[in-house]
Structure 1
């Protein structure tokens, strides 16, 4: 399969992946020939990239870090939990998580188990789920990225359970904020931005009253926008005051935010999201956590068209474990001419070559 921008899609191409709504219902089936109307529908729903089938890339396979069944179930659990909390009200210190807490913990454990059994590198571009509420998919994506880092860093089962639950609930404070502000397509006013920033404290205040929630989970909600140099919010605390979970969660949160489709901008590709993290290393983010994340995520995902430093063009066909920014490339153009027989170059071995640009 080949990864392409929806803006470059042409009528007649075949969709390479099924697109679901947040309830797991099929919106567009894999193998469907796209028409102008369907392409316009993808664009209108804010989908920036899709996979398509073509003859050159029919041997390139895309794997999701977790099964579609688990992703759908996890999204439903997150949605149900957030809905229950919104309905209970922020001042409620009841046992609202008595019912939901066990389901959250169970889902986190199953995600960990599936990720441990998946030997490939992490890419969520293969998971196209269209949702009317960004917060549910964002919460799950951040959980997956957070657990990937935790696994890479050798966290214990207990730590993975704590930080996984914290990741799922890190944005819970947003359910108490006007949804029109959260979904606003344009720039926020200063007052609106201050309202949105308050979600960290709202989430913390709510979670710390829930007897079933460890205080560390509440602090994930409180601190995930804090930064090493004290420029974050809500308290502007610095590196030594930040809990390790918050340092990790902040990186996963930023990466998913910039690589996801939003109402006000298109998604970035993974290598662009990683560049943003590295630009903030030492000052904003812990470089050791970024390095652990880099080892886990497919920087250049399978199916992406890239140009090499010697002007050859190819498509990412496979990943190199632990060398996620140096994948295997299937070359199909040399000196702006199609080659008779495509062949592979392993950038993990061909260290004199680098990826200089991408095309989607």
Structure 2
């Protein structure tokens, strides 16, 4: 039995499984090798946000492969279903905001709680956003995805629990101002006109003016909404401020906003590949997005990309072995029983991940 090992996400673990490699945090052993996982141990592991994989024993190689395939698909379906349910609730919440209902903040808190219950495993969330994105829904499902990514980045930046909660409020509501703009603009199949774009660029102020009126809500939430399109070099909107003038929440939401938008189909363009997405984040970290926050984001995202099965433009299947932070879209692959460095084969590129 103990000859086969599989690396599982924490949410995939079940009581009775046996730990194959000791689990450490800050160079301290938390759980030793060959320990049987109990309910208490499982709760402890789920509380460790930085823990992404646990090695356990499994009966056979065939069981290992089948387990991973079935479980990955089921996980993706489950989180997609949950996100869509939360999305419907967010739509209703935004309608109540427009009608000035007083119970809105209670609903935002509940949606945040639901969302945070889903984001304890970063791999599942990144998987969902890479495979599905937010589609053509640039308000509600986009808001859910941006909130999920912002929540993860907040944890990776080691923000305290209350700050992460407020950050998630701000991310959920970051595009609430779009509800004040004609839907026809967002549903156009062609690129926006200059006048359309001018109208769209008003949504941070519209959203800020709505949310700042909520009583007993920390001002950091409305500021994150107001500034999420500001850029480090002052090229953003609506204020054109730069650097330290941009609040912390806005810097985080900006990265999440860009990542989801790139990974999503829109009425006027198709989604980019997962590698184009991280390449754009890397490029924009020089002058547009916060450099340090981008580095933290990318370092964790790269862990998700490593070991993934992919299809090349030749329709060949390959596995990602190593990635270069300076050329994120040209990793080292293993294909046809040999290594293939995409940096040396410019005619080849990765088309998509394999689930």
Normalised by the shorter chain, which TM-score bucket? 0.5 to 0.7
* Corresponding position of 2:118: 114
- In 2, the alpha carbon distance for the partners of 1:127 and 1:312 equals 18
Residue pair 1:77, 1:104 contacting (<8 A) in 2 also = no
Matches within 5 A, 1:126-145: 128=132, 133-145=137-149
User: 1:73 aligned to 65, 73, 85, which one?
Assistant: 85
Pairwise CA RMSD: 3.7
Deviation at 1:183, TM superposition (A): 1.5
Aligned mate of 1:305, from 287, 305, 311? 311
Match of 1:154 among 146, 150, 158: 158
Candidates 298, 310, 314, aligned match of 2:317: 314
8 Å Cα contact 1:64/1:122 also seen in 2: no
Higher helix share: 2
Taking a change above 3 Å as real, the CA distance of residues 328 and 123 of structure 1, as seen in their structure-2 partners, is: farther
Distance 1:146 1:267 in 2: 20
> Conserved in 2, the CA contact under 8 Å of 1:139 and 1:171?
yes
SS in 2 for 1:233: coil
Is residue 228–residue 239 contact of structure 1 (8 Å, CA) maintained in 2? yes
Matched ranges for 1:222-301 at <5 A: 222-297=226-301, 298-299=304-305
Preserved contact between residue 152 and residue 292 of structure 1 (Cα < 8 Å): yes
Partner Cα separation in structure 1 for residue 118 and residue 300 of structure 2: 14
Q: Is 2:351 the partner of 1:359?
A: yes
User: Equivalent residue for 2:185?
Assistant: 181
Distance in structure 2 (CA, Å) of the matches to 1:224 and 1:118: 23
Shift of 1:330: 6.4
Give 5+ residue unaligned stretches, structure 2: 1-64
Pair 244,131 (structure 1): closer, same or farther in 2 beyond 3 Å: closer
CA distance in 1, matches of 2:218, 2:129: 32
Change (3 A) 1:129 1:253: closer
TM-score (norm 2): 0.67
Q: Whose RCO is larger (CA < 8 A, sep 6+)? A: 1
* Counterpart Cα distance in 1 of 2:286 and 2:120: 29
SS of the residue aligned with 2:127?
coil
Cα distance, 1:330–1:103 mapped onto 2, change above 3 Å: farther
Structure 2: distance between partners of 1:66 and 1:154 = 27
Q: 1:118 to 1:275 in 2, by over 3 A?
A: closer
- Partners of 1:241 and 1:254 in 2: CA distance: 20
Give the SS at the match of 1:291: helix
Question: Contact between 2:251 and 2:289, CA under 8 Å: does it hold in 1?
Answer: yes
- Partner SS for 2:190: coil
User: Aligned residue for 1:85?
Assistant: 97
Offset, 1:314: 3.1
> Offset at 1:270?
1.9
In the alignment, the residues of structure 2 paired with residue 215 and residue 84 of structure 1 have an alpha-carbon distance, to the nearest angstrom, of 20
Q: Hey, what's the Cα distance between the residues in 2 that align with 1:77 and 1:125?
A: 19
Per the TM alignment, residue 319 of structure 1 is displaced from its structure 2 partner at its CA by: 10
Q: Secondary structure at the match of 1:67?
A: helix
Cα deviation for residue 162 of structure 1 reads 0.6
> What is the number of residues matched between the two proteins?
277
Once residues 344 and 292 of structure 2 are traced to their aligned partners in structure 1, the CA distance between those partners, rounded to angstroms, is 26
Distance verdict in 2 for CA 1:248–1:118, change over 3 Å: closer
Q: Which residue of 1 aligns with 2:12?
A: none
Per the alignment, do residues 225 and 129 of structure 1 end up closer, same or farther by CA in structure 2, a change over 3 Å counting?
A: closer
Q: Counterpart in 2 of 1:38?
A: none
Q: In structure 2, what is the Cα distance between the partners aligned to 1:146 and 1:209?
A: 23
Q: Is the 8 A contact 1:306 1:316 kept in 2?
A: no
* SS at 1:315 equivalent: strand
Distance in 2, Cα, partners of 1:201 & 1:130? 23
CA distance in 1, matches of 2:288, 2:336: 40
Contact 2:79–2:125 under 8 Å retained in 1: no
